[in-house]
């Protein structure tokens, strides 16, 4: 405050020059009157502690700005930490996704191999069943052919015997059959 007063005195130095013919400390010296009014105004301001109030307002404003800056700094640090956390989580999720894709590929490959093995086994079973059916059909066909051949041969033999058979021959064959049955039974 003293500096302000000293500055006002230096700035009012033209007031030292009094108007012509008038004393320096007179009411006609307007510069001196203005200087005195200014000093009185400054004195009133100092008396009512206006500079202290202005300084208090400026200090409170500076404190408010500083607290806002501190809050902004804290929020920035939180945002950076949150951003880093999200980046870590994103990297973890990316790694998890890659692992899931790799596992799915491995599972799909294993399932494909298992399905291929199952299909091959099924084809082998069906081929075996078809071969068994073919073998059975062949055996049945051979049996039918044999049976048919035996039936035809018996019928042909019966016809031949019927045409060539006489009474003596019939008795001799019956006697042979009885003797053969007797030998086999005893």
DSSP tag of 25: S
Report pLDDT for 151: 83
Q: What is the pLDDT of residues 102-160, one digit of tens each?
A: 999 999 999 999 999 999 999 999 999 999 999 999 889 888 888 888 888 788 777 77
Q: What is the pLDDT of residues 41-54, one digit of tens each?
A: 999 999 999 989 99
Tokens coding 100? 């899931």
CB 1 within 8 A of CB 51: yes
Tally Cβ neighbours within 10 Å of residue 35.
Answer: 19
Q: Could you give the CA distance from residue 186 to residue 182 in angstroms, rounded to a whole number? A: 6
pTM over 0.75: no
**Which residues fall within 8 angstroms of residue 35, CB to CB, at 6 or more apart?**
8, 9, 12, 15
Q: What is the pLDDT of residues 56-89, one digit of tens each?
A: 999 999 999 999 999 999 999 999 999 999 999 9
Q: Could you give the CA distance from residue 102 to residue 83 in angstroms, rounded to a whole number? A: 28
In this prediction, residues 9-20 reach a mean pLDDT of 54
**Higher confidence at residue 80 or residue 13?**
80
């Amino acid at each position: 405050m003293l500096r302000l007063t000293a500055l006002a005195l230096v700035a009012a130095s033209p007031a030292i020059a009094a108007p012509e013919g008038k004393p320096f400390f007179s009411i006609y010296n307007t510069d001196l009157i203005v200087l005195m009014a200014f000093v009185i105004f400054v004195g009133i301001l100092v008396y009512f502690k206006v500079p202290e109030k202005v300084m208090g307002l400026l200090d409170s404003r500076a404190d408010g700005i500083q607290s806002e800056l501190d809050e902004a700094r804290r929020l920035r640090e939180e945002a950076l930490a949150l951003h880093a956390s999200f980046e870590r989580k994103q990297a973890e999720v990316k790694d998890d996704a890659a692992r899931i894709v790799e596992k799915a590929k491995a599972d799909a490959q294993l399932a494909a191999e298992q399905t291929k093995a199952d299909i091959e086994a099924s084809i082998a079973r069906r081929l075996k069943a078809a071969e068994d059916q073919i073998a059975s059909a062949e055996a049945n066909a051979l049996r039918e052919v044999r049976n048919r051949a035996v039936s035809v041969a018996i019928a042909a033999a019966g016809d031949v015997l019927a045409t060539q058979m006489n009474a003596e021959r019939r008795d001799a064959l019956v006697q042979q059959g009885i003797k053969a049955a007797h030998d086999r039974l005893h």
